[in-house]
Structure 1
Amino acid sequence: MVGLKTLKKALISGAALAVLSISAHAADLVLRSSDTHPDGYPTVEAVKYMGKLVEERTDGRIGIEVFHSAQLGEEKDTIEQTRFGVIDMNRVSLGPFNNLIEETRVPSLPYIFRSVEHMHKVMDGEIGQDILDAFEEHGLIGLAFYDGGARSFYNSKKPITSKEDLAGMKFRVMQSDLFVDMVDALGANATPMPYGEVYSSIQTGVIDGAENNWPSFESSGHYEVAGYYTLDEHLIVPEVLVISKTSWDKLSPEDQEILRQAAKESVPYMRKLWAEREAASEAKVREAGVEIISDIDKTPFIEAMEPVYEKHVTSEKLKDLVERIRAVE
């Protein structure tokens, strides 16, 4: 196993190489941004759009190059590389941050948001900014929140019409204690694994299924191996766009403001693409013959989450955050 010291040394030398390759672009600064989603996905296109705005507003001095399809690694790995400054920017799900930044646990809680509109109102306001601010002491600057859609369970075995149907089934979750506890509380078995391993794991029976939104279910091809999709919508988790504090601190205050503003302006652009993509993905999945279960009583699912809240909402800070979110009309 590689020691932490060796890992740091490798990351730092990687950062040095990145700096050298950047300086090769004449006077331009090219920020490398990671995303696990494929090219054309709304989050990928939103960061490209942000890059276009930044390039225009800096007269070509700063650009953003998006590395999609996990070219720079799976989310857990790229988070560490971004904290060390090897990767400049990163679009990441909030789940993998749950064990690192406690504030990210709250918007990741099952059924914390009443609707997508409620989530937008919360994350676009003061509460969202407070959560973005919490990234800084962990070597990252939070720039904006994107949509991650409503996540629901899908599997290869049977239609899930009630909480009882989940008993004993194996579901992939993100590498987050909170996600593991959520699945366990519903009576199923949680299996944390990287996103890229899910297709083959369902196909070979290592797991029965996973949980995700319409576009991810479709773009990953998971609908080809999981023929049942239950719209329990247990999570409406926003995704976050961050920049390495190392990269951020090298920018002038003026350029920092340009990046921050461009990130914020990329949010409505992303949401427009997201709504279009969600509708197209749903249509494709339905056309493929996947059985969609929408007539489901969510109450038992919501009630089962009480121990998850008790375990993960421990500090007064987090309890206050939950109350503030619930109070947003």
Structure 2
Amino acid sequence: MRKKVISLFATTFLAVGVLAACGSSDTGTSEGVNDSGVARETVTLKLAENQPEDYPTTIGAKEFARLVEEKTDGRYKIEVYAGGQLGDERSVIEQLQLGTIDLTRVNAIPLSEFSDDIGVLAMPYLFEDEDQKWDILNGEIGQDLLETFEGSSLVGLSFYDSGERSFYNTQRPVTTPEDIAGLQIRVQQSDLAIDIINSLGASATPMEYGEVYSALQTGVIDGAENNFPSYFTSNHFEVAKYFTVNGYQGVPEILLSSEKLWNELSAEDQEIFREAALESVSVQREAWANLVEEAQKAVVENGSELVEIDDLTPWREAVQPVYDKYGEQFAEWLDRINNN
């Protein structure tokens, strides 16, 4: 298992720059009284979130903060800094490793740099359905995956919903892998992402996200892939009307603590933080479901055609070469998921 800790020298300058704008990085303390009138110290922690205040992951983070404060009788207070106030995902991860930020929420994809095992969550059609997915992520297998960050100065607490990625294109309704064959589909710069698209008979075209709208509009590419909210907020629905609802990939978000903070918590408080993280998942998922519903309604009202897929079997069969290539790397996790 490969673990990686960001260079202290390189990240110190990042941390200093951010902290100069945000104030001291030290954990703050203040005094107050509990419900019984007994004096107690309050430790204030920072949680970095790069999404807006009303985004589902921010809503989840705020619920986590509320639960921690409630369960510790106010001994810990978590301030959620939304909208990227403390930096982008990369710099926040580095600050978390240094301990200059206490907590954050990050997508699992960039975290595969610190845990090879977490990459299994990017495999196509990994789960049978949403119920199985969240039973696994909130259960023993999910907890074991979070523990694979050991040695990276990161501590995984829980998974948050980031939706299911599906395909959309400018050319035609796509109901089978044969329909997508030959189309130029934009993907992220990732060997796995490229292999998935190519296994379906399409042509994977790595491209920066900001270039996708223009590329769809001008015919440089025929399609792309993402979840409903991103399809809507990026305005890709304006130029790519055919959206195939087949949820081929559903990489989750991860709520993380710095190892520095974690080691300062008592065993009892560590349990409280984990419990609060897990309990906040239902609130975050509800907020995500509401956002998906709103986005889906909006794109349909604007003329998009949603192609529902009842049987994913042909799609699962088409991506078998991906499992042949990466299966050995993730063998332990795939066996556990399939046998769950």
* TM tier, smaller: 0.7 to 0.9
Change in Cα spacing, 1:167 to 1:60, as seen in structure 2 (3 Å) is: same
> 1:99 Cα deviation (Å)?
4.6
Conservation of the 8 A alpha-carbon contact between 1:39 and 1:69: yes
Structure with larger Rg: 2
Measured in 2, the distance between the counterparts of 1:206 and 1:251 equals 53
2:338 — aligned with what? Answer: 326
The corresponding residue for 1:273 is: 287
Conserved 8 A contact 2:114-2:149: no
Q: Spell out the pairing of 1:288-299 with structure 2 (5 A cutoff).
A: 288-295=302-309, 298-299=312-313
User: Are 2:24 and 1:20 aligned?
Assistant: yes
Cα pair distance change 1:99/1:173, threshold 3 Å: farther
State the AA in 2 paired with 1:310: D
Instruction: Report 1:56-135 matches (<5 A).
Output: 56-135=70-149
Supply the distance in 2 between the matched residues of 1:75 and 1:16 (Cα, whole angstroms): 15
Count of aligned residue pairs for this structure pair: 323
Query: Structure 1 residues 281, 309: CA separation in 2 closer, same or farther (over 3 Å shift)?
Result: same
TM-score (norm 1): 0.83
Distance 1:192 1:41, change over 3 A: farther
**Structure 1 residue 312, shift from structure 2 partner:** 1.7
Aligned pair in 2 of structure 1 residues 218, 10: CA closer, same or farther (>3 Å)?
same
1:227 is aligned to 2:241: yes
Q: Give the Cα–Cα distance (whole angstroms) in 2 for the partners of residues 182 and 76 of structure 1.
A: 25
> Equivalences for 1:187-266 in 2 at 5 Å?
187-192=201-206, 198-199=212-213, 202=216, 207-266=221-280
Partner secondary structure for residue 241 of structure 1? strand
For the residues of structure 1 that align with 2:98 and 2:208, how far apart are their CA atoms? 21
* 1:125-183 deviations in Å (ceiling 9; x for gaps): 11111101101222211100122222211234443233234344343434543223212
Q: 1:239 to 1:21 in 2, by over 3 A?
A: closer
Partners of 1:217 and 1:20 in 2: CA distance = 38
Deviations 1:98-130 (A, max 9, x none): 354222122321112010011011112111111
Deviation at 1:12, TM superposition (A): 5.2
47-56 or 110-119, which moves further after superposition? 47-56
Counterparts of 2:125 and 2:27, CA distance in 1: 47
Question: Aligned partners of 1:62, 1:196: CA distance in 2, in Å?
Answer: 39
TM-score (norm: length of structure 2): 0.80
The partner residue of 1:10 within 5, 13, 20 is 13
Q: Say which SS state the counterpart of residue 162 (structure 2) adopts.
A: coil
Give the letter for the 2:231 counterpart: F
Secondary structure at the counterpart of residue 20 of structure 1? coil
Q: Aligned pair in 2 of structure 1 residues 89, 143: CA closer, same or farther (>3 Å)?
A: same
- CA deviation profile, 1:187-231 (whole Å, cap 9, x unmatched): 334345565665565456564433222233334443334322111
User: CA separation in 1, counterparts of 2:212 and 2:80?
Assistant: 24
Residue range with higher mean Cα deviation, 207-216 or 190-199: 190-199
* Cα RMSD (Å): 3.1
Partner in structure 1 of residue 55 of structure 2: 41
Residue 121 of structure 2 aligns to a residue whose secondary structure is coil
- 1:77 deviates by 4.9
8 Å contact kept, 1:143–1:241: yes
Identity of aligned residues (%): 43
CA distance in 1, matches of 2:218, 2:91: 25
Q: Aligned letter for 1:323?
A: D
5+ unaligned residues in a row in structure 1: which ranges? none
Which AA in structure 1 matches 2:10? L
Aligned match of 2:35: none
CA gap of 1:55–1:173, structure 2 versus 1, over 3 A, is farther
Note the C-alpha offset of 1:274.
2.7
8 Å CA contact 2:48–2:85 kept in 1: the answer is: no
Structure 1 residues 197 and 306: CA distance shift in structure 2, 3 A: same
Structure 2 CA distance for partners of 1:194 and 1:55, relative to 1, 3 Å: farther
d(CA) in 1 for partners of 2:173, 2:165: 16
How big is the shift at 1:284?
Answer: 1.8
| Structure 2: segments with no counterpart, 5+ residues | 1-5, 31-41
What secondary structure is seen at the aligned counterpart in 1 of 2:122?
coil
**SS of residue matched to 1:106:** helix
- Going from structure 1 to structure 2, the CA distance change for 1:250 and 1:134 (only over 3 Å counts) comes to same
2:11, 2:95 within 8 Å by CA — same for their partners in 1? no
Measure, in 1, the Cα distance between the counterparts of 2:261 and 2:189.
26
